[in-house]
Structure 1
């Protein structure tokens, strides 16, 4: 019986996803959970994440008030801050912080913020001097409060309208009036009602402002700003401000002169203040550039070693009515060292040319010198990519199994694009493309498998880091010389020498042969009724043998062998049955014994046959019967005779024997009395297995 067992081992290349887990998310309210209105409050959210060191995680922090998002931050930091500057009553509520990292998210415990008090409102009037029965518009506002507010004028309620409200006031009686307003938040009744606004009188203190020579000038021009109040009270103060910076302060009026500079454009504010009452006037001043900031460009954008590059310094615009282009002087620097006093600089790219390049443009006028400098331009020479090498990851390829190919160039500035190709029917098919952008990354390609040793030479790769240069290609026969190709073993065949049954004491050799497979090959022999292997050998050839030098009866049975190599695919052979015969001298001894036994029986028969005539003289009928004698058969079947002749064991169970003639029987002389009985004989048919009387 032959048993064929095929064991297939599949190798799976698995890319484990990189692991991370969100441990905790905590939310704190600073400085306290209960604060007064106008306090700077910060909500600090911090997350703890355990992750693979190679992961660069981005945390999405989302602050929620009553489950509604109010602020979101994307950052790689583990902390985020949401500022309420300042906090107002409408900011009161229950807050949470939700952090999302890639596909996972976690929410902090809820924290309640309570803001007490309301901002004092501001009342503004459309007129400061009124006549009887004239109307004016009063605007009550709380600019820093949030949400819908309800305002009150003279205890008359006005519906919610954001953080300000406007109404018409009818002052029917003559004389000075002091007006005020207050408000409340309908959705936050516990905050109560605000304090009354500052009382506003009807005095007229609106300032006026003039900008000379114009609100639009060039840099270098002299600007004069006049800010004053017409017919003011003696105690009124005047301020000139820009971007919340006080430029000048005076009583009643002021004049401010300064030289316009690039970047001075903006809004000027002329403010008149009397006690708690303020009035403002605004003017926007525009400062035009005499010439724009210089621009430094490089050609080509990607600079490779050995190539010539050119830097150009230029301005995009200039005031033609004020200066000529020829009056603009340029200079180019590398690491603050002057390279050129021209608007261009050219050189052959080399690592020594790497550095921080800057460009300056200058103009000299009668009154001023103007110098403008561009931000630093970093120039780093790139190294052209070298010829790539294509190699097998691990160095070994098993036919029929997946493997990895790596394409790598020793030199070349990143990023480098690697492409894998395969030759098929005189065509080059692109299999995959990988871009290496960071140091340490590799271009590794997954190949499903090849079926022949020659297939490995069909692969090649290309590398490129300069779109204006041709790709560098790997050697065509590179893999054929560097890769180790492993061919899995085929099913082995087991043979014996000598063939057939083996006699005891002889030599038996079991030969295990494979018709395919890369050496070295491991051969192992087994006996079906014995535990463990009989022997194991590693051979550089396609066969190996196991020898039993002295065969005994216990060596009979079924044998098989198994083969394996570096492909790790174990194959089992056919089963061979070995029979063990007796040794030749044992067969001869048994045959001699049987022949001697037969000869002895024949001799006894002949002797007894010769005595019969003498006994017939005494009686014509003679029968021997002894009461103490046991009569048994002494005979051989034809089959027993044949077995003895073939060297098989011949035996007899005769304890005493009786010999008979054709018509007479011979009786043993033992016993005191003798009786004679006539015995009838018949012809024996050996084909029926009848015994031959001796």
Structure 2
């Protein structure tokens, strides 16, 4: 039967579980580790065999009702000792029957839900090391036998170092984590008083035990010490036969081994059955040793042999010491001293070149060349003794060849350059001299193949270059060789350019073609010329084989006015600039004429206007009516009444004197009368300013007198 769970019940269950989980998390996270301490009981310093307890205590605050799990870890020198899981607030680590090896620095740590806190460090010191016990398997030995010794430190722990000694002499030592060391030892003759002890490293200090019991061991010596003899004596002369003999006690001889040695060289390893004979030589002087071996025991006896030279080592020489190809030379082999038992004639000589016999004599004459070059050795022989001289190299020197004179880089007038001298053949050292005509300027000696002769100089004119020669020699005056004269291209730097403008700058008009010509007084071609216009802008560059070049500005305009200059340079990498020429482009002639015509026309129009204006004024004056025309007063009143709406503006007309017909002028005597017409807005005759009329009349006193 299946039970169906309602969806609402299922959701309620899930929600309840979620709330319980949140609650557990909330309660489990509500704690704090206040402190952790480590306690050592019964105390920090104890004697060996004491039971020691390490107690780790944690002080933790937490929410009521929560259950915490504690994880305790104990450490010695930061190395974990054990781990304890509990819900208690402390944990115990026991060290029963403590030993000195338990001494050290301890601490503990508490871990709760991933949070860790360590205690303070605490020191434990355990006192008292037991003396070790020494045992051996034999008390009597024969020299070369082994004895097994055992040193035991019962109950001790830690990293121990054991020592085996015979009084002040150390026999053996070993480091171990064990409390016992067993070792086979080979002891010398006599009596050995053996004991042992051990030490333990506690970090900052080392504790050492007392000595063990002492065991005496007797070692019986083997009678295998050899006896060495030499015939005829220990003082001999080269060429003498000498014989060595080695022997031991007959009871041990069958089992022992006898070896004869000279320094580090073994001469014979079979000295029991036969003697060792040899022909004495000068380098045979020294100590001879006879060594007897039986098992691991070795004994020896020695004696010194002195061997006197029968003759000295031959000396080889070449005369002359420096020989050139084609020159004669002599090789001589000499003995500087010899024993009285031989005569000078008893010494036989041989000269070898590259291990090939050249002559059976002490002197060899030859001509230097490739055939006689090589390593020479001289051998001298007397009384069966052969001695060889040191090797001497003969290499015929090669006379220097004619040197070649060259230069490094371009040669520029008034600028330093290097002259190089080199001979293709010639034995070093070679002396090179730089000469100018017949005068030596400088010299240098070349002693290595990597060296070269170089001289720094300069010239002031191109013709000076051919005056230089190079001289080489490597064998005095007889080897002097002279080079050819130096012939190379000499570069003359450009002189200061001169810029010429055609036509002359004062006569340049718009539309003209202007030619810029840049020329230099000196300079080696090819020459590069560069022309510059206003604003220092390069307008043209060209390279030519001559000392001048030109550039044409076609149909110039006013904007072409400005400062012009040019530069010149060649392969000397030294440029020179001309002076600045100012160019001013003026208007074209037809433009000037047009402007002049325009100005003249403008002046004519202005004059015409003034004349016409003046004439118009004259006509206007002639056409005006006379200001003194007669009319009846009534008419004047009527006129003033007819224009009552006229403004209060007064009009005054002044009539300038005009030529009139004398017959029309009224004949008056006395003061000249002038008539004015004054019109006001009111038109009242009473308002006429008679004073003004009078003043105006006085101004016109120049009117013609009336004619009678």
TM-score (ref. length: structure 2): 0.51
For 2:168, the equivalent position in structure 1 comes to 157
SS at match of 1:534: strand
- String of CA shifts for 1:458-484, please: whole Å, max 9, x gaps: 866554444x55774755x834x32x3
For 2:301, the equivalent position in structure 1 comes to 281
Once structures 1 and 2 are overlaid, which stretch shifts more, 372-381 or 499-508?
Answer: 372-381
Give 1:237 deviation, angstroms: 4.0
For 2:452, the equivalent position in structure 1 comes to 443
After TM superposition, the structure 1 = structure 2 runs for residues 466-485 of structure 1, keeping only pairs within 5 Å, are 466=475, 472=480, 478-479=485-486, 481-482=487-488, 484-485=489-490
- Equivalent of 2:509, from 497, 503, 510? 503
Give 1:412 deviation, angstroms: 0.9
Q: Take 1:231 and 1:594, find their aligned partners in 2: how far apart are those partners?
A: 157
Whether 1:408 aligns to 2:414 is no
SS at match of 2:191: coil
For 2:326, the equivalent position in structure 1 comes to 306
Whether 1:179 aligns to 2:191 is yes
For 1:384, the equivalent position in structure 2 comes to 399
For 2:561, the equivalent position in structure 1 comes to 556
After TM superposition, the structure 1 = structure 2 runs for residues 534-683 of structure 1, keeping only pairs within 5 Å, are 534-591=539-596
Whether 1:350 aligns to 2:359 is no
Q: Retained in 2: the 8 A contact 1:398–1:487?
A: yes
Q: Retained in 2: the 8 A contact 1:265–1:286?
A: yes
Q: 1:247 to 1:469 in 2, by over 3 A?
A: farther
SS at match of 1:587: helix
After TM superposition, the structure 1 = structure 2 runs for residues 311-390 of structure 1, keeping only pairs within 5 Å, are 311-322=331-342, 324-363=343-382, 369-374=384-389, 376-390=391-405
Q: Take 1:154 and 1:553, find their aligned partners in 2: how far apart are those partners?
A: 119
For 1:684, the equivalent position in structure 2 comes to none
Q: Retained in 2: the 8 A contact 1:238–1:254?
A: no
Give 1:310 deviation, angstroms: 1.6
Give 1:211 deviation, angstroms: 1.8
Whether 1:520 aligns to 2:526 is yes
Q: Which has the higher helix share?
A: 2
TM-score (ref. length: structure 1): 0.52
Give 1:561 deviation, angstroms: 1.3
Q: Retained in 2: the 8 A contact 1:237–1:250?
A: no
Q: 1:198 to 1:249 in 2, by over 3 A?
A: farther
SS at match of 2:401: coil
Question: Once superposed, what is the RMSD of the aligned Cα atoms?
Answer: 5.0
Larger Rg: 2
Give 1:222 deviation, angstroms: 2.2
Q: Take 2:199 and 2:399, find their aligned partners in 1: how far apart are those partners?
A: 68
Q: Which structure 1 segments of 5+ residues have no match?
A: 1-127, 129-151, 161-175, 622-661, 665-694
Q: Retained in 2: the 8 A contact 1:359–1:373?
A: yes
After TM superposition, the structure 1 = structure 2 runs for residues 188-203 of structure 1, keeping only pairs within 5 Å, are 200-202=219-221
- String of CA shifts for 1:83-139, please: whole Å, max 9, x gaps: xxxxxxxxxxxxxxxxxxxxxxxxxxxxxxxxxxxxxxxxxxxxx9xxxxxxxxxxx
Q: 1:417 to 1:215 in 2, by over 3 A?
A: farther
Q: 1:283 to 1:462 in 2, by over 3 A?
A: farther
Q: Retained in 1: the 8 A contact 2:352–2:378?
A: yes
Q: Retained in 2: the 8 A contact 1:385–1:416?
A: yes
Q: Retained in 2: the 8 A contact 1:200–1:277?
A: no
For 1:213, the equivalent position in structure 2 comes to 232
Whether 1:259 aligns to 2:282 is no
Give 1:393 deviation, angstroms: 0.6
Give 1:523 deviation, angstroms: 0.9
Q: Take 1:224 and 1:384, find their aligned partners in 2: how far apart are those partners?
A: 58
Q: Take 1:206 and 1:612, find their aligned partners in 2: how far apart are those partners?
A: 171
SS at match of 1:179: strand
Q: Take 2:354 and 2:225, find their aligned partners in 1: how far apart are those partners?
A: 55
Q: Take 1:596 and 1:550, find their aligned partners in 2: how far apart are those partners?
A: 30
Q: Retained in 1: the 8 A contact 2:468–2:485?
A: no
- String of CA shifts for 1:617-637, please: whole Å, max 9, x gaps: 98899xxxxxxxxxxxxxxxx
SS at match of 2:543: strand
Q: Retained in 1: the 8 A contact 2:434–2:455?
A: no
Q: Retained in 2: the 8 A contact 1:405–1:445?
A: yes
SS at match of 1:504: coil
Q: Take 1:561 and 1:663, find their aligned partners in 2: how far apart are those partners?
A: 78
Q: Take 1:198 and 1:343, find their aligned partners in 2: how far apart are those partners?
A: 71
Q: 1:591 to 1:311 in 2, by over 3 A?
A: same
Q: Take 1:470 and 1:199, find their aligned partners in 2: how far apart are those partners?
A: 90
Q: 1:398 to 1:181 in 2, by over 3 A?
A: farther
- String of CA shifts for 1:604-629, please: whole Å, max 9, x gaps: 999999999999998899xxxxxxxx
- String of CA shifts for 1:226-273, please: whole Å, max 9, x gaps: 33347866657472512341525455x964444335644332223345
Q: Take 2:199 and 2:400, find their aligned partners in 1: how far apart are those partners?
A: 68
SS at match of 2:311: coil
Q: Take 1:540 and 1:401, find their aligned partners in 2: how far apart are those partners?
A: 23
Give 1:557 deviation, angstroms: 2.1
Q: Take 2:584 and 2:311, find their aligned partners in 1: how far apart are those partners?
A: 110
Give 1:521 deviation, angstroms: 2.0
Whether 1:247 aligns to 2:252 is no
Q: 1:259 to 1:442 in 2, by over 3 A?
A: closer
Q: Retained in 1: the 8 A contact 2:261–2:290?
A: no
SS at match of 1:326: helix
For 1:225, the equivalent position in structure 2 comes to 244
- String of CA shifts for 1:310-348, please: whole Å, max 9, x gaps: 2122333333313x2223232333345443333222222
Q: 1:382 to 1:607 in 2, by over 3 A?
A: same
Q: Take 2:275 and 2:609, find their aligned partners in 1: how far apart are those partners?
A: 168
Q: Take 2:426 and 2:216, find their aligned partners in 1: how far apart are those partners?
A: 72
Give 1:450 deviation, angstroms: 6.0
Q: Take 1:362 and 1:205, find their aligned partners in 2: how far apart are those partners?
A: 43
Q: Retained in 2: the 8 A contact 1:460–1:473?
A: no
Q: Take 1:178 and 1:506, find their aligned partners in 2: how far apart are those partners?
A: 132
Q: Take 2:608 and 2:297, find their aligned partners in 1: how far apart are those partners?
A: 163
- String of CA shifts for 1:467-512, please: whole Å, max 9, x gaps: x55774755x834x32x33343344332312223302333322222
Give 1:525 deviation, angstroms: 0.7
Whether 1:295 aligns to 2:302 is no
Q: Take 2:460 and 2:391, find their aligned partners in 1: how far apart are those partners?
A: 57
SS at match of 2:427: coil
Q: Take 1:614 and 1:274, find their aligned partners in 2: how far apart are those partners?
A: 173
Q: Take 1:319 and 1:469, find their aligned partners in 2: how far apart are those partners?
A: 48
SS at match of 1:537: strand
